[in-house]
Each structure stands twice: as structure tokens, then as C-alpha cells.
A = this chain, B = another copy of it.
Amino acid sequence: MSAPVRHRIPEATVARLPVYLRSLFQVAEAKTATISSERLAELAGVNAAKVRKDLSFLGSYGTRGVGYDVEYLLFQISRELGLTQDWPVVIVGLGNLGLALAKYGGFEARGFKIVALVDAHPGKVGQEVGDLVVRHVDELSPIVAAERIAIGIIATPSSSAQDVADRLVAAGVTSILNFAPARLDVPDQVSVRKVDLSTELQILSFYQQRQGAMVAPPRPGLEGAAEEVALA
């Protein structure tokens, strides 16, 4: 059931697998049966050697002289990412952002299903959002257990983020996506990823400031290399 685990897959590679997955979905819609590393690289915005090396960590799924079978590769990457099942997710915090996430339909298509909404504020509890009713954060444990939730999204103010993380962990959640601009202290077995909008803007600001009219774009993490900047 679980993936082969031929090698230990590098973190940087794991972070790119979802990008390849998306590109492959596009290609699959166009009824293309096979794809070369060159073409996939172009769609994903990376370099072809990187694509080949990344895919080689999953196994030898390509055919020399031909390329990769799109459907087969889609399946292999999905399996590697654990997306052959749907993961139940809880959103904690239903302010502007939490609500936007709750209403966003794009997760379902990608292997995730929002199954519970939780907030600490009495005014929020009981509210209906889509086909879910917001429940109180004190009920987190039974909800997580009942719905077999493994992934939690924190969309609260940062002042409550650590408390919420503690509750999620206590309830048995082992993966957390944190939108609050706060560092979370969690046990080693728990994975945390952070999305911080202000941080992203500040990084853009850095590169923006350095260019006035010169050079040097940053790079979101994909290709490209920063050029040198002349001294002021």
C-alpha cells in the first residue's frame, strides 16, 4: 500500500512533486500519452535535468528514447504524495482567511476534504458555512477522532496559534498548515508548514528595493539565478 521508498526522497524534490503533478494533469487533459523531461520541465518552470533526477528518486518510470507515460507518472506521483486517498482536514479559526479557505473548492480536487470547522468565538459557533456548521474548539478531540482527521489548518490570530496547535496535537493531528505569523512549538513527529503573507511581501520588497531600475530578480524557488548588483 505505501510507496516503494527506494531512496529517501530529498525535501526539495518532495516540494516539487506537486508542481509536476499539476503539470501532468494539464497534459493529461490534452490527451497526450507521453511526455519528455524537457517538456515537463518547461511546464513546471524548472530545468530538465532536475525533473529527471527528481523522478528517478521515485523509480525508473520513464522509457529511454521515448519519455514518461503521463497516466502512469500521474499515478506514481499521486501515490508517493499519499493522494490516492482523500485526507480529512479541519480548519481552526473562521475569520476572513479561514472562511475564504472553507469556501474555496479547490482542495477537494487535490486530495483533501474539509470535514470540520472550529472556532473559539461564540459568535462563530453554530454558523453554517457551505454544508458544515462551525463547532467549538473545545470539541476538537472528539471531532478529530470521529472524522479521523490527520491534517489541521490554523487560521487564527497569532496570539492563539500555539494554543490551537497544542490542542490539535493533543487531539492526534500530526500535520499542521499554519497561516498565523507565529512559530509553533510541536513534538518532533508533527510536521508543520507555514504560509506567511507578510513574509512573502517582505521578501518581494527586498528584491524590489534592490532594483530601482537595475537587475536581479529573486526567485520563488524555481529556476533562475540572481545577478550581481552594482554598489550604490
Contact = CB atoms under 8 A, between A and B. Distances in A.
A69 B166 CA distance: 33
Given A5-B229, A104-B231, A110-B198, A44 B183 contact: yes
A143 B11 CA distance: 41
Contacts of A177: 197, 200-201, 204
A199 interface: yes
Contacts of A208: 82, 87, 150-151, 174-175, 191
Contacts of A183: 19, 43-45
A101 to B, nearest CB: 7
Contact of A191 (B11, B83, B197, B216): B216
B174 A211 contact: yes
A83 B197 CA distance: 15
Interface in A1-31: 2-3, 5, 8-9, 11-12, 14-19, 21-22
A219 interface: yes
A203 interface: yes
Contacts of A207: 14, 175, 191
